[in-house]
Chain A
Amino acid sequence: MSIVQSILNGDRLALARILTQVENNTPEGKSALAELFPYTGKAHLIGVTGAPGTGKSSLVNKLVLHYRKNENKRVAIIAVDPSSPFTGGAVLGDRVRMKDLSGDTGAFIRSMASRGSIGGLARSTAGMVEVFDAAGYDIVIVETVGAGQSEVDIARLAHTTLVVEAPGLGDDIQAIKAGILEIADILVVNKADRPGVENTEKALRSMLELAHPTARVFKHHGAYMSVAVPVQENTAMWIPPIQRTISTDAKGIEELAGLIAKHAEHLRVSGDWVSRERARLSSEMEALLRDELMNQFRSRMPEAEFNQVMERVFTRELSPWEAVKLLVKESIK
């Protein structure tokens, strides 16, 4: 039986091993992704992001426990933590908060190091999500690196993005900046038993009131990747709700799951589900295209020639911009 067939049949070891191949971007991983791709597109992808220490992992733990106990859904979790920029090593500690899910074959937790990516995810996260989707998980939760203000890649990947806040982390100016709060489909104020919870909620609410309802389709860097959005029905805009939770006591979790389901329903009714799928696949394509072009460039460009041009930049003879123009011209000769 092929490894892909084993995954479709629910073999957990085969799944774990293919995830490694996909993460390492090996030829085996790529061919598995190609075979699995037709089986994708069914799972609800939920992103969980927020500053370090806001309680993302503990929240995910309780949320998944709810899905397992009350909704009998199979859930996969990809938990991303940062890699050291110096050694490339990582300590991935999200499992420490997810002990409740141990021993449950309907939940699968995979820790992942960011390996130098800066958007809050790793390069292979999208591929790993596809593997879980094809393997038949109803829900795939991606927990990002503890994110600051602009690690917003998750919003391109997920159908529903939760931004987790905690009391005492910033004032209302933080709340009107662009970036992470803007990508929230649902705002979660975790650790709601802590003092200051009213202020945090008030700041978030005033941010929402200031906002014009903006179309929530993502801008791409490349001009070629604009997404054709199907004509939308005249449906109400989704205003991100604010949900208080206390993960340690499982308070607010059921309500949060309710809001997530409501958001999924909204996406389907409004047609945003389709436009988000398209935006996600185009941004995945764009990233792959960039990698592929870079690889082709590297394989065509003799290292000596590259270094020679580099030297001219170091001596201020060429500007970096001129150097790039020169190299690209050379490489397509």
Chain B
Amino acid sequence: MTERKIRVLVAKPGLDGHDRGAKVVARALRDAGMEVIYTGLRQTPEMIADAALQEDVDVVGLSILSGAHMALAPRILELLKNNGQTDVKVFIGGIIPDDDVPTLKKMGISGVYGPGASTEDIVKEIREIIIG
């Protein structure tokens, strides 16, 4: 029996201590039949890239509420690339000003979700981009 499960790493880089959002998203992805690897709070970009490699995930979901997304996102993308994981899609959720969204997408972030985003949309977009 061959199974294809979407594997998602949900991580919180940086120093803010609020992981409610990350947990809600992790739970929603679980209920959508995905396998979610949850790494918890205060992860460095290196820790996240290392975990993404070991777990061979399809998707990395970052929860960032600290405002440090413009520094953390490019660093994580760079590390994933250095590890050879160029096919991994990165999504960001959290407090992200609208003005930053085009820049983030341009650098290779697949999706950005702010407050009020529906978990159905997140699930749908991850499915579309991974399975097509």
Contact = CB atoms under 8 A, between A and B. Distances in A.
A91 B2 contact: no
Interface stretch (A12-20, A195-203, A301-309): A12-20
A99 B40 contact: yes
A95 interface: yes
For the residues of A in contact with B, the DSSP-based class is mixed
Interface residues of B, number: 31
A24 B37 CA distance: 17
B54 A91 contact: no
Contacts of A295: 1
A111 B5 CA distance: 13
Interface stretch (B22-30, B98-106, B110-118): B22-30
Contact of B36 (A24, A89, A96): A89
B40 to A, nearest CB: 4
Contacts of B38: 91-93, 95-96
A275 to B, nearest CB: 31
Contacts of A113: 5, 35
A95 B31 CA distance: 20
Contact of A90 (B30, B47, B54): B30
A89 B31 contact: yes
Contact of B53 (A13, A89, A91): A13
Given A89-B35, A92-B35, A16 B55 contact: yes
B2 A84 contact: no
Contacts of B2: 24-26
A124 B107 CA distance: 37
Nearest to B38: A93
B50 A103 contact: yes
A25 B47 CA distance: 28
16 contacts: A13-B53, A13-B83, A20-B7, A24-B4, A84-B30, A87-B31, A87-B33, A89-B32, A91-B26, A91-B36, A96-B38, A99-B40, A103-B47, A110-B54, A111-B37, A291-B1
Given A25-B3, A84-B31, 20 more contacts: A12-B53, A12-B54, A16-B54, A16-B56, A19-B56, A26-B2, A89-B36, A90-B36, A92-B37, A95-B51, A96-B38, A96-B39, A99-B47, A102-B46, A102-B51, A103-B50, A109-B54, A110-B54, A115-B3, A295-B1
